Amino acid sequence: MDQPGHPANTSAAHPPTRLRYEDVRVRDADIRVFDRSHDPDDGDVSDMYVIDVFGASILVRLRTPRGGGEPELYVHIDNEGHPPIDLAVEVDNRGEHRYRI
């Protein structure tokens, strides 16, 4: 049985392990920080942060690019389990891009 902070990870790519994470609540947001040091061979070069707020889930981490090289910033946003909503994203003041998630 899973315990808080140590759920079972049984992805097909990895044998079962125990992920370590810490939960933090800030106003309307739940933040879960996954400890990267537990699985150093998975391509992540930083802890992984998952922020759940306003029905969206935002994952942020540094990872090794697929072709190798310097770490890259990876951001994933989804809206699983909630009604569709418009998402406007602006990166580095380069203008907004809109998505339906």
Q: Which residue has the tokens 């930083």?
A: 46
Is 26 part of a structural domain of the chain?
A: yes
- Give this prediction's pTM: 0.74
Residue 36: inside a domain, yes or no?
yes
Which is it for the CA torsion 76, 54, 82, 6, positive or negative?
positive
Residue 1 lies in a domain: no
* pLDDT single digits (tens) 42-89: 677 899 999 999 999 999 999 988 888 999 999 999 998 899 999 999
Residue 2 maps to a domain: no
Is 56 in contact with 67 (CB distance < 8 Å)? no
The predicted-structure confidence for 6-21, as pLDDT tens digits, reads as follows 444 434 444 445 668 9
Query: What's the total number of domains in the chain?
Result: 1
Please check whether residue 3 lies inside any domain of the structure: no
Residue ranges making up the domain that contains 21: 8-100
